[in-house]
């Protein structure tokens, strides 16, 4: 095993490469305990291939967005980058697919360097039934209280924690049930900020939040992504418009790639997805209604009367 080359912290950046990646989820006999023979008999055929020759690159510091319908394979791509699974094929076979970070095949990378290089924020990032302090220290065991407060500040959560009677010693409950959805996400983001990975994977990180919580989490995410190579999976297309490249994933394949404007102009699958969400491909008409529409994102009858809010200004800019 080898360490992923470090090019000088976040500023040096890490290049991500997916090269002809194919993947099949393992069959039951590959994941069951050896003692549970009856479970192993459930499926001896092996898994069905769910990714078919996926290839793309992300240069250091780039933001790459993956969009598509549910079940298209986006989260599988994220799981492979975090090496929750290995790609199909033999790493010794030069023709086999591979995922590389700064040229190092993930299958050859040390666990320590992979953990240091890649950070992940999911829709329901796991929190343990421990204190805020303990949950944060999982990312950086040697961090001081000052480090923890700085991470919370950057994640827009310091005021919330400071107002709690027990502060950093507040127990969040199993999976963080004592916190709101937005607070859970920001605590997960604070943990990623503490770890300071060079590659950040966001898998539907704001999908289940209300508008107000999403706005706060988006600000925290902007801090987390700054200067880092980022793979962003999102259902809401408004959140990925500014990505350096958008990849449309369908049935385990990349069927379109380009910038937001390029893909809209092409009138293909991305334009269809955009039209489904907003009812139009006219960016100035794509301001969603909601509980805060009259306060922050007022749906105006004309562009001159439009009030722009931070959450949706990426839809309107350009």
Q: What is the pLDDT of residues 15-64, one digit of tens each?
A: 999 999 999 987 665 655 544 444 444 444 357 899 999 999 999 999 99
pLDDT of residue 236: 81
Nearest CA to 226 among 155, 310, 125, 152? 155
In the chain, % of residues over pLDDT 90: 48
- The C-alpha atoms of residue 150 and residue 36 are separated, in whole angstroms, by 47
C-alpha 278/C-alpha 288 separation (Å) is: 7
Residue ranges covered by each domain of the chain:
9-281, 288-318
**Six-digit token pair at 250?**
């369908």
Mean pLDDT of the chain: 80
Are 117 and 14 within 8 A, CB to CB? yes
For residue 14 the two structure tokens come to: 């890490």
Cα–Cα dist 315/318, whole Å = 8
Summarize pLDDT for 129-141 with one digit per residue, the tens. 999 999 999 999 9
Which region among 50-59, 109-118, 181-190, 290-299 has the lowest average model confidence (pLDDT)? 290-299
Cβ contact 23:81 at 8 Å: no
The model's confidence at residue 207, banded by pLDDT at 50, 70 and 90, is: low
Q: Rounded to 5 degrees, what are φ and ψ at 63?
A: -110, 120
Domain over 9-281 is classified CATH 3.40.50.300: yes
Longest Cα separation, the chain: 69
Give the pair of three-digit tokens for residue 102: 């700064």
The backbone region for 251, taken as left when phi is positive above 0, alpha when psi lies in -120 to 50, beta otherwise, is left
- Check the CA dihedral 124-257-87-44 and report its sign: positive
Instruction: Work out the average pLDDT over 210-236.
Output: 79
List, as one string, the DSSP characters of 183-198. HHHHHHHHHHHHH--S
Which token pair is 16?
Answer: 């991500």
Q: Which two tokens stand for residue 147?
A: 């480090």
Residue 178 confidence class, pLDDT cut points 50, 70, 90: confident
Among 85-99, 120-134, 161-175, name the most confident range.
Answer: 161-175
Rounded CA separation 182/236 (Å): 17
The pLDDT of residue 315: 31
Residue 3 backbone zone (phi > 0: left; psi -120 to 50: alpha; other: beta): beta
Q: What is the pTM of this model?
A: 0.78
Question: How many whole angstroms separate alpha carbon 208 and alpha carbon 125?
Answer: 12
**Range with the lowest mean pLDDT among 12-26, 86-100, 102-116, 247-261?**
86-100
Percent of the chain with pLDDT over 70: 76
- Nearest CA-CA partner of 15 in 111, 86, 104: 104
Distance (Å, rounded) from C-alpha 137 to C-alpha 133? 6
**Cβ–Cβ < 8 Å for 240, 274:** no
Q: Which of 41-45, 54-58, 87-91, 179-183 has the lowest mean pLDDT?
A: 41-45
């Amino acid at each position: 095993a080898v360490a992923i080359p470090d090019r000088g912290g976040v500023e040096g950046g890490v290049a991500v490469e997916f090269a002809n990646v194919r993947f099949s989820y393992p069959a039951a006999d590959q994941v069951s305990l050896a003692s549970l023979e009856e479970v192993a008999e459930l499926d001896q055929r092996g898994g069905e291939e769910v990714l078919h020759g996926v290839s793309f690159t992300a240069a250091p510091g780039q933001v790459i967005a993956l969009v598509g319908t549910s079940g298209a394979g986006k989260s599988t791509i994220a799981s492979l980058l975090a090496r929750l699974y290995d790609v199909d094929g033999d790493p010794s076979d030069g023709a086999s697919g591979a995922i590389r970070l700064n040229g190092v095949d993930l299958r050859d990378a040390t666990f320590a360097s992979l953990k240091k290089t890649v950070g992940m924020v999911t829709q329901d990032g796991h929190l343990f039934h421990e204190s805020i302090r303990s949950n944060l220290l999982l990312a950086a065991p040697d961090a001081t209280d000052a480090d923890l407060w700085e991470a919370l500040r950057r994640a827009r959560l310091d005021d919330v924690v400071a107002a709690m009677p027990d502060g950093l010693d507040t127990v969040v409950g199993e999976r963080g049930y004592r916190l709101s959805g937005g607070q859970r996400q920001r605590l997960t983001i604070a943990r990623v900020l503490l770890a300071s990975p060079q590659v950040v994977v966001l898998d539907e990180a704001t999908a289940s939040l209300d508008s107000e919580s999403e706005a706060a989490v988006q600000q925290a995410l902007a801090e987390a992504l700054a200067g880092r190579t980022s793979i962003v999976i999102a259902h809401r297309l408004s959140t990925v418009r500014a990505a350096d490249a958008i990849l449309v994933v369908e049935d385990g394949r990349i069927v379109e790639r380009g910038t937001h404007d390029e893909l809209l102009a092409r009138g293909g699958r991305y334009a269809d997805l955009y039209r489904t969400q907003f009812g139009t491909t006219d960016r100035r008409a794509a301001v969603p209604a909601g509980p805060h529409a009259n306060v922050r994102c007022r749906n105006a009858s004309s562009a001159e009367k439009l009030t722009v809010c931070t959450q949706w200004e990426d839809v309107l800019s350009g």
